[in-house]
């Protein structure tokens, strides 16, 4: 598999305060990678490092296979478009003039692609309206358009839907999906809106205390979050044998607990177990959301 970004034992700290303490992650090309963690665990720091705004204290990262320890990484970094924390826009300018300014900064001589960018971001009809009069959602979409000015194939976004109303969230979602599916842009996104991330992400990385706790694909996560019946019994071997004979899909959780997927007649099943002298101690319906998965993985408390 090809990767847009790989980090290997990445570290960043200030004096005795460690922010990243050996972070290793893998962002596949063409993915929408959701980077999830509490405030203060290093999400924004990682983004600032890969964008060249800060330098690591240890470890390294690779952009399209080029190590951060090599000077050539600056060339690879040109393939990144980023919105870090808040969009950098000029409030006394129109959306078009903001893009022209970004083109000048990047040294792009022609403005011919600006109308297409404005249309892509859904702000083509704002004309000379100053961005100070834009809604928060419009400013976020302009920020993404500015990040796309250099035609990057890797987009890095820090909390792009923070504070948006439902309509604004939908508009950002549709824009990101379009960029990924139609323009093949890899997206690394940090957000606290777990429900929204579950709608768009293809890969997830859960970070805590400056380290990666788990990386998982959307397909793997979907399997873990599927509805099932969790049975706790006295004899796991009997339960497994009967489930196999019935061609049921199941997963053994412990020496007494099994998750059973799909529909089946629970009453008849319990009677069948009883004939085999297998007692059922507990029956629980499981339907785990991304939020519950995150809480169970990381824990619900605050950082110390």
Task: List pLDDT tens digits, range 244-266.
Answer: 998 888 989 999 999 898 877 88
The answer to whether 223 and 194 are in contact (CB under 8 A) is: no
Band the pLDDT of 300: cuts 50, 70, 90.
low
Average pLDDT over residues 232-245: 93
Say yes or no to pLDDT of 302 above 90: no
Distance CA 16, CA 175 (A): 41
Average pLDDT over residues 5-30: 94
CB 4 within 8 A of CB 184: no
Average pLDDT value over all residues in the chain: 91
Give Cβ neighbours of residue 115 (< 8 Å, ≥ 6 apart).
124
Q: How confident is the model at residue 304 (pLDDT cuts 50, 70, 90)?
A: very low
Q: What is the pTM of this model?
A: 0.82
E strands in the chain: 3-14, 17-28, 32-36, 58-63, 66-67, 80-83, 154-158, 186-190, 203-208, 211-217, 228-233, 249-252, 257-261, 280-286
Residue 94: pLDDT band (50, 70, 90) is very high
Confidence at residue 59, expressed as pLDDT on a 0 to 100 scale: 96
**Contact of 77 with 52, CB cutoff 8 Å:** yes
| 227 pLDDT higher than 90 | no
pLDDT band at 104 (very low <50, low <70, confident <90, very high): very high
Return the minimum-mean-pLDDT range out of 94-103, 211-220, 289-298: 289-298
Phi, psi dihedrals of residue 284, rounded to the nearest 5°? -140, 130
Give the model's confidence band at 303: pLDDT under 50 very low, under 70 low, under 90 confident, else very high. Answer: very low
Q: At what angle do helices 136-147 and 166-183 cross, to 10 degrees?
A: 20
Query: What's the pLDDT band for 163 if we cut at 50, 70, 90?
Result: confident
Note the helical H segments in 62-193: 73-77, 95-106, 114-120, 136-147, 166-183
- Specify the pLDDT at position 293: 85
* CA–CA dist 228, 19 (Å, integer): 38
Higher pLDDT, 162 or 64: 64
CATH class, range 226-287:
alpha beta
């Amino acid at each position: 598999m090809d990767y847009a970004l790989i980090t290997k034992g990445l570290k960043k700290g200030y004096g005795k305060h460690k922010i990243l303490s050996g972070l290793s992650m893998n962002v596949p090309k063409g993915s929408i990678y959701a980077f999830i963690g509490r405030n203060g665990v290093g999400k924004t720091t990682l983004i600032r490092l890969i964008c060249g705004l800060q330098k690591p204290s240890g470890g390294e990262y690779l952009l399209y296979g080029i190590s951060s320890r090599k000077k050539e990484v600056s060339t690879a970094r040109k393939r990144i478009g980023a919105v870090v924390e808040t969009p950098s826009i000029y409030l006394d300018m129109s959306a078009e003039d903001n893009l022209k300014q970004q083109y000048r900064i990047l040294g792009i001589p022609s403005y011919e692609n600006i109308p297409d960018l404005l249309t892509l971001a859904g702000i083509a009809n704002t004309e000379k309206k100053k961005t100070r009069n834009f809604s928060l959602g419009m400013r976020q979409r302009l920020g993404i358009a500015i990040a796309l000015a250099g035609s990057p194939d890797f987009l890095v976004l820090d909390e792009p839907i923070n504070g948006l109303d439902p309509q604004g969230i939908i508009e950002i979602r549709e824009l990101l999906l379009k960029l990924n599916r139609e323009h093949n842009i890899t997206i690394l996104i940090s957000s606290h809106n777990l429900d929204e991330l579950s709608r768009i992400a293809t890969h997830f990385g859960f970070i805590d205390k400056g380290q990666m706790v788990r990386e998982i694909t959307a397909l793997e996560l979907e399997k873990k979050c599927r509805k099932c019946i969790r049975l706790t019994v006295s004899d796991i071997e009997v339960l497994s044998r009967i489930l196999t004979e019935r061609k049921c899909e199941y997963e053994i959780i412990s020496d007494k607990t099994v998750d059973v997927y799909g529909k089946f007649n629970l009453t008849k099943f319990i009677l069948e177990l009883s004939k085999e002298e297998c007692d059922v101690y507990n029956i629980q319906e499981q339907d785990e959301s991304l939020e519950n998965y995150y809480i169970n993985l990381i824990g619900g408390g605050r950082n110390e």
